[in-house]
Amino acid sequence: MADPNQERVWFAREVMGLFVKAFTQLKLYPHDHAYVVEALEKFGTRLRAFVKLHSVLRFKVSQDNLTVEDQPVYESENPNENLAFRLYVDGLREIAIAQGVTQEEAAKLAHVFYQAIVDQDSDSTLLMWEADFRNIDHVAINSLTDAWESPDYFNQDQLDLLKQMNRDVDSIVESLTANAGRGTYSFELTDGGSELERADDLDDDTGEREDGDDIFDVDSGAIADFANSAKIWGPDRLLRVLNVECLDGLALMPDVMPMGLVQWLTTESVSMSLRSRDMDLLSDLLGQYANELDATEERDPTYQVFKGPFNFLGREENIERLIRMAQGGGLGGPKAFTRILHQMGEPGMLTAASTYRVSETQELRDALTDYMKDHVKLNPQALQLLCREDVDAETVRTALFVANNRISPRDLGELLEVARRHPDAEIQKYAEHLWRTNTDQGRVKIAIDALTSDVRADRVKSLKILVRGKHVEAVENLKAVISGAEFLHKDAHERKAFFDALRFLGGMRAVGFLEEQTKRGALIFNRRAAKETRQFASQALKDLKNATAGR
């Protein structure tokens, strides 16, 4: 069973993923560029959505990553651009973003993180303090040695030992930070013009070349050397090379290279990868074919050559083989598996959902969740597999989390229709909430329910929504409110608004009801309201008659 706090972790990863995108834009463009502004706005919006739902987003800072609920939500393969490392060496140990954080504060936080990464002379603790956040707190120590304050009761020998420990820790910090900039390279970009001129000045005939030195001459010895090298290759390397050479041959000599042979090779390569359970090999091959597809027009005869492997992989029996391979831990692991799904396109979503249903490891579930969040629009209906009555509640919750705000209201409505039938009461409640707040039908239901609200402003607002959207399904509810005993206790303006809405939405179907209201009676203390109500009904009938005559 998944951790009940897993949704919080996924949400936090999504927030930090948007920071990484914003960081990339900050590096590439001026900070007032439209791309930067848009990226920062997306980061801030998602951050505020998190704290609105979960009250606080609390990051623990370690040397390698940022964690939420003891699970990493931010990591960087590039040590020179690792935010966690920069924060850690400057003494930060925790950052907490509270409910109420503004868009401006979120953007300022992203700038602080950016500055901490790119300016290694800056102090991220000082940057956080100078930012003077109102809704963002941080916990920091002055140095790694702050944990070794000397108690008053230590004797001299103990103090000497403590000082030595402090010096040792300082040396560790120095060694950690000394190499922080190592591996940074700079390049001078040119248009190649000057280099070409210098190359043209060279005399091709200058000097003498010994026999066999011609770099464009491939003799039998070179072929023998190549054959010896190939002997140490494994089957996967041989298959990769064979694919590359065949695809190059098809591109360079399409009239000579048999197209049917290449079609057979690509499909057979996919089949061999499935049999060998090598997901790294399969993802690399699919990447080659996808690149060829991108560079080929559909009317080109070779297009189907490269499309063939994907059609083959999308067959039901091969999708089942993929699922078994992911379950059995094929070579490459979950990351390689999601790369395969990415190359598959629409069938990849169906494969991901089917695999998630039977996945047994948290690592695979996390990888599949991240994939589905990014690709759910390819096939939203695939998520219905994860919302059926025989699926556990945590899996359904994951599917709803993936779908929320990522698919169209229509697709979401279809998914929630499935989820609302789930036997778990909490899932029913969650699905009902999403249905009412994120689908057109749900919003109409909220407006109809608000017709009987105790708050006048809510009733009037619902009338406007129903009339503006021409929701004729509200007619019977309008009639029920108007005919109720409490209706006469409403003020005249509101009662007239109800009759106007009924006339507009009900049209000629409301004539009989309106005629009944023109004869409405009341108790002695409601006579004035009843008289006004009869007048409103008469006016509505008159307006309907005029509208019909004017057609």
Query: How confident is the prediction for the chain on average, in pLDDT?
Result: 80
DSSP H helical segments within 231-313, as ranges?
Answer: 235-252, 259-276, 279-294, 303-313
274 in Cβ contact with 351 (< 8 Å): no
Categorize the per-residue pLDDT at 493 as very low, low, confident or very high, splitting at 50, 70 and 90.
very high
448 CB-near residues (< 8 Å, 6+ apart): 462, 466, 471, 473, 474, 477
82 in Cβ contact with 61 (< 8 Å): no
First to last CA, the chain: 64
Among 46-50, 81-85, 327-331, whose mean pLDDT is lowest?
A: 327-331
**Mean pLDDT (whole number) for 502-522:** 88
Residue 441 has pLDDT above 50, yes or no: yes
User: Phi and psi (nearest 5°) for 523?
Assistant: -70, 170
pLDDT for position 157: 57
3-state secondary structure of 75: strand
Which residues are bridge partners to 269 per DSSP?
Answer: none
**Amino acid in the structure at residue 177:** T
Distance, CA of 349 to CA of 375 (rounded, Å): 7
**Mean pLDDT (whole number) for 244-269:** 77
User: What's 424's DSSP letter?
Assistant: -
Instruction: Kindly report, residue by residue over 356-392, the tens digit of the pLDDT.
Output: 888 888 888 898 999 999 898 989 999 999 999 999 9
pTM of the model: 0.47
Among 88-102, 243-257, 275-289, 400-414, whose mean pLDDT is lowest?
A: 243-257
Taken in order of first residue, the domains within the chain and their CATH numbers are 6-147 (no CATH), 240-440 (no CATH), 442-549 (1.25.10)
pLDDT for position 339: 87
Instruction: Kindly report, residue by residue over 141-183, the tens digit of the pLDDT.
Output: 754 444 444 444 445 555 555 556 555 555 554 554 454 444 3
**Mean pLDDT (whole number) for 63-84:** 88
Categorize the per-residue pLDDT at 108 as very low, low, confident or very high, splitting at 50, 70 and 90.
very high
pLDDT for position 372: 93
Residue from 93, 92, 85 nearest 65 by CA:
85
Q: 49-86: string of b/e by CB count within 10 Å (b at 16+)?
A: ebbeebeebbbbbeeebbbbeebbbbebeeebbbbbbb
**Mean pLDDT (whole number) for 400-408:** 86
pLDDT for position 190: 46
Could you give the C-alpha distances from 224 to 213, 228, 238, 242, in angstroms and in order? 17, 6, 16, 18
Which residues are bridge partners to 92 per DSSP?
Answer: 140
DSSP H helical segments within 124-234, as ranges?
Answer: 124-131, 156-178, 193-201, 220-230
